[in-house]
Amino acid sequence: MPVIEKVIDETPYIRTFVLDRTFRANPGQYVMVWVRGVDEVPMSLSYENAITVQKVGDATSAMFGLGKGDRLGVRGPYGNGFTLTGRSILVIAGGVGAAPLASLAELAHSSGISVTTLLGARTKTELLFAERFRQAGELRIATDDGSFGHAGFVTQLLERTDLSDFDGIYTCGPEQMMARILNIVKDSMLDRIQLSLHRYIKCGFGICGACCIDPEGLRVCADGPVFTGIRLANSEFGKYRRNECGMKVHVQ
């Protein structure tokens, strides 16, 4: 079990846990993180040796109680991750959705691909990895409360962006945000947009079927979590998901 080497406060609610183990993974792949006695939850790799966690409930709160020298169970990496293509890409990150995208932006930059990032958060202090995105290319920021950059949603920045400049669009964040993005880019770029999905993940191996999405029965944990717009355009995405019991609940 990996040992936590360092904990970095990224924002008041987001921390990075640097581990003593390196994972060979594509940006967008995730690991299952076991907090003993509490729960096991999926987390994207935010660096090759780290996860970046937003405190939202039991497991993530328990992680916030851990420090240097403590252990976390980590299995993976799992899932497909993003596929980098083209010479110029647009990255759209909302909240903790920046976690898998910062390494993607860095990889693109180091491969000579030009990167433009639209980064959104509720408020200035919750902006994640702004410096990493800035180092990788051009950065535009939106905050819901207007405390930094554009006052409003990151999707409004997107509406003002000329998409013909980009060979690919990569996004991760709240489902409502990504659903809006999918509407904005519609048709013209559906095959060139990649979205990282959040569904309740149990096994992570692709075996149990809890995270399958309609109508193709694709497994978010193994066939995803990254899907192209084409796969999601006429799917449950943006409409509903299934909870731990497998009951449909509306995406709000």
Ligand X SMILES: Cc1cc2nc3c(=O)[nH]c(=O)nc-3n(C[C@H](O)[C@H](O)[C@H](O)COP(=O)(O)O)c2cc1C
Question: How many other C-beta atoms lie within 10 A of the C-beta of residue 164?
Answer: 7
Nearest 5°: the CA angle 156, 158, 162 is 130
| Location of structure tokens 């569904």 | 199
Q: Could you tell me where the DSSP H helices lie in 146-187?
A: 154-159, 175-185
- Binding partner of residue 52 among ligand X, other proteins, ligand FAD, none, CB cut-off 5 to 8 Å per kind: ligand FAD
User: Out of 204, 224, 225, 229, which residue is the one contacting other proteins (CB under 8 A)?
Assistant: 204
CB 123 within 8 A of CB 14: no
CB 228 within 8 A of CB 235: no
Closer of 166 and 229 to ligand FAD (Cβ): 229
- Binding partner of residue 215 among ligand FAD, other proteins, ligand X, none, CB cut-off 5 to 8 Å per kind: other proteins
- Binding partner of residue 34 among ligand FAD, other proteins, ligand X, none, CB cut-off 5 to 8 Å per kind: other proteins
Q: How far is the CB of 199 from ligand X (least distance, A)?
A: 16
- Please report, as residue ranges, which positions from 179 to 218 form the binding site for ligand FAD (by CB under 6 A): 198-201
Is position 224 an interface residue for other proteins (rule: CB under 8 A)? no
- Please report, as residue ranges, which positions from 168 to 187 form the binding site for other proteins (by CB under 8 A): none
Number of shown-chain residues binding ligand X (CB under 6 A): 2
Neighbouring residues of 159: CB distance < 8 A, sequence distance ≥ 6: 184
| Rounded distance between C-alpha atoms, residue 60 and residue 241, angstroms | 21
* Amino acid occupying residue 29: Q
CB 69 within 8 A of CB 140: no
| Rounded distance between C-alpha atoms, residue 195 and residue 218, angstroms | 14
Closer of 47 and 148 to ligand FAD (Cβ): 47
Name the residue whose CB lies closest to ligand X: 208
- Please report, as residue ranges, which positions from 71 to 130 form the binding site for other proteins (by CB under 8 A): 71, 73, 75
- Please report, as residue ranges, which positions from 193 to 252 form the binding site for ligand X (by CB under 6 A): 207-208
Give contact residues for ligand FAD (rule: CB under 6 A).
30, 39, 41-44, 51-54, 56-60, 96, 99, 198-201, 225
Give contact residues for ligand X (rule: CB under 6 A).
207-208
